[in-house]
Amino acid sequence: MKQQIKVRSAFGHFSRNLPRHHPCFLKVFSCHSCLSRKIFFPFPIISSSIKQARAIHSTKNFCLNLLNFNSCVSSYHQRNMSSNRKVSSDMNAFQDQLNRASKIVALTGAGISAESGIPTFRGADGLWRKYKCEELATPEAFAKDPGLVWQFYEYRRQLVSSKEPNLAHKSLSVLEQNFLRNSPQRQVIVVTQNVDELHRRAEMKRVLELHGSLFKTRCTQCKAVKTNYNNPIVPALDKIELDELDRHIDPKDLPRCEKCTGLLRPHVVWFGEQLDPFVLKQAEGLMSVTDFLLVIGTSSVVYPAASLVPQAATRGVTVSEFNIEQTAASEYSKFFFKGPCAQTLPKALQIGETMISHWG
Ligand code: BJW
Ligand code: ZN
């Protein structure tokens, strides 16, 4: 669906038809020309000065139509983004609003699993500090060296299998259970970027996985998707060490399709790949109906997941963030609870450890 956008720029006013969730679309930066914070097309305005913009500029997924378009979008001002907007960490005020909400969405990222012992992508313990994501989580990397990419994924499958959901995962499940039992008109749904399945293992029922799962494979030939919890997935990938992902593996010993013998790949979304359109549509649908958005443990830099927060925020939805540090989503947040989310989230949701142990 295309949407007409009114654009204000140093060169005058324009109207432009763009797909509503074009990847170049919802990005908030300080305007290079007028210095106010607006939603921008990310180039070329900001490429010279903002670190994040440089990262964006260097990706190949930008819109060629917009390359010479020095502009900012005026029709998408955040309603609650005035310069004197205060971010609160008032637990009572948060709980008051939570208690009045009926369609709660929790958008989660790697930080929610950090206290389970699973490294994040970009943090100090970031998994990709040693291995560049462009080297390992791209279709090009897999085409070049499927054995290397499979070692990386098998290492992570084995790591995740040895870890347990933490109090943050569990408190969301307890909230869901409480609603099902006591207030069935209220719902909580997790939209996760994580591929570790820890929300499901915490017995959360409503989970939307944006980036797939480490425990699913997809055939590169017949495209069949299969759940696979084998450990190791094939004998050639047994006992992988992260320090030495250089085992030579004959391609015939890599995971193969039972039906057509085609090479299997992890059923995850790599850079440059589209998210499952059905899944993305569901996530966007949730953003258009939620009345309370929790943003937990994500840096909010990876698109299109990162555009979900502004989609909800521009409707005036209360955004509450749980993170150990400020992120790209923080400027949308009404509430910010700083700290490890396995501590802050159960407290905010008023889910005590006894409730968690009784339930699970
Ligand atoms: C704690 C904590 C504690 C720690 N408690 N908190 C628009 C503009 C610019 C670029 C693009 C754009 N649209 C698309 C792009 C390109 C690209 C992209 O976004 N690049 C950016 C990096 C700039 N996106 C894509 O390529 C996407 N595809 C796409 O859009 O296709 C459409 C298209 C295709 C072709 C042409 C045109 C359009 C696909 C993105 C797929 C991302 N895949 C990965 C890998 C998945 C598989 C795997 O796991 O191996 O998904 S990348 C990686 O990042 C992974 C994560 O799900 C994702 C998000 O990371 P997350 O979860 O936020 O983790 P971190 O580490 O970044 O943050 C952790 C946070 O936790 C931090 O904030 C900590 O502070 C916090 N924390 N401990 C609370 N205890
Ligand atoms: Zn097949």
- Does the CB atom of residue 121 touch ligand 1 within 6 A? yes
Comparing 295 with 16, which gets the higher pLDDT?
A: 295
Q: What pLDDT score does 19 carry?
A: 55
pLDDT band at 226 (very low <50, low <70, confident <90, very high): very high
Pocket test for ligand 1, best of 64, 65, 121, 321 (most atoms within 8 A of CB): 121
pLDDT at 248: 86
How far away, in angstroms, is 122 Cα from ligand 1 center? Answer: 9
Confidence of residue 130 (pLDDT cuts 50, 70, 90): low
Q: Which ligand is nearest to the CA of 191?
A: 1
Supply the residue whose CA is at minimum distance from atom 44 of ligand 1: 270
Give the distance (Å) from ligand 1 centre to CA of residue 211.
9
Greater confidence (15 vs 295) lies with 295
Sheet with 264-268, strands from edge to edge, namely 225-227, 212-219, 264-268
Q: Whose C-alpha lies nearest to ligand 1, atom 78? A: 111
> What is the percent of the chain where pLDDT is above 70?
73
What is the pLDDT confidence band of residue 186, given thresholds at 50, 70 and 90?
very high
Q: State whether the beta carbon of 25 lies less than 6 angstroms from ligand 1.
A: no
Task: Please give the helix or strand (H or E) that residue 227 lies within, else none.
Answer: strand 225-227
Q: Is 269 in the pocket of ligand 1 (CB under 6 A)?
A: yes
Instruction: Give CA–CA dist 96/317, Å, rounded.
Output: 15
Whether 219 shows a pLDDT value over 80: the answer reads yes
Nearest bound ligand to the CA of residue 121: 1
Query: Comparing 136 with 106, which gets the higher pLDDT?
Result: 106
Residue range 340-346: average pLDDT?
A: 98
pLDDT higher than 90, residue 353: no
Q: According to the model, what pLDDT value does residue 126 have?
A: 67
CA 89 from centre of chain: 23
Which has the higher per-residue pLDDT, 45 or 131?
Answer: 131
Report whether pLDDT(72) > 50. no
DSSP-assigned beta bridge partners for residue 124: none
Confidence of residue 240 (pLDDT cuts 50, 70, 90): confident
**Ligand at shortest distance from the CA of 261:** 2
Mean per-residue pLDDT, 185-204: 98
Ligand 1 contact via 23 beta carbon (within 6 Å): yes
| Residues identified as active-site | 211
If we measure between CA atoms, which residue out of 87, 128, 124 comes closest to residue 336? 87
- Examine the pLDDT at 264 and tell me if it is beyond 70: yes
Contact predicate 327/298, CB 8 Å: yes
Rounded mean pLDDT, 51-73: 31
d(CA 235, CA 161): 17
- The alpha carbon of 302 and the centre of ligand 1 are apart by a number of angstroms equal to 3
Q: Quick check: 189 pLDDT over 90?
A: yes
Instruction: List the single range of 69-78, 185-194, 248-257, 258-267 with lowest mean pLDDT.
Output: 69-78
Average pLDDT, the chain: 80
CA distance 345 to 335: 12
Predicted pLDDT of residue 346 = 97
pLDDT at 198 over 60: yes
What's the pLDDT score for residue 86?
82
Please tell me the predicted confidence (pLDDT) of residue 67. 29
pLDDT at 135: 72
- Cβ of 271 closer than 6 Å to ligand 1, yes or no, is yes
Among protein residues, the one whose CA lies closest to atom 22 of ligand 1? 302
Whether 313 and 78 have beta carbons less than 8 Å apart is answered as yes
Q: Is the pLDDT of residue 282 over 70?
A: yes
DSSP 60-109: S---GGGTT---EESTT--TT--TT---B--HHHHHHHHHH-SEEEEEE-
pLDDT in tens, 13-29: 445 555 555 444 444 44
Rounded Cα gap, residues 335 and 326, in angstroms: 12
Residues 135-180: pLDDT tens digits? 789 999 999 999 999 999 999 999 999 999 999 999 999 999 999 9
| Residue 243 CB-density burial (10 A; 0-12 exposed, 13-18 middle, 19+ buried) | exposed
In the sheet where 318-323 sits, what is the strand order?
207-209, 187-192, 103-108, 292-296, 318-323, 335-338
**Band of the pLDDT at 338, cuts 50, 70, 90?**
very high
Q: Is 255 in the pocket of ligand 1 (CB under 6 A)?
A: no
In the reported structure, the alpha carbon of residue 264 is separated from the centroid of ligand 2 by a whole-number distance in angstroms of: 8
The ligand minimizing its distance to the Cα of 325 is 1
Q: Tell whether the model's pLDDT for residue 87 goes beyond 90.
A: yes
Residue 356 pLDDT class (50, 70, 90 cuts)? confident
Distance 225 CA to ligand 2 centre (A): 9
> What pLDDT sits at residue 59?
29
Does residue 272 line the site of ligand 1, with CB under 6 A?
Answer: yes
For ligand 1, whether the C-beta of 109 sits within 6 Å is yes
- Which pLDDT belongs to residue 260? 98
Q: How far is the CA of 262 from the centre of ligand 2 (A)?
A: 5
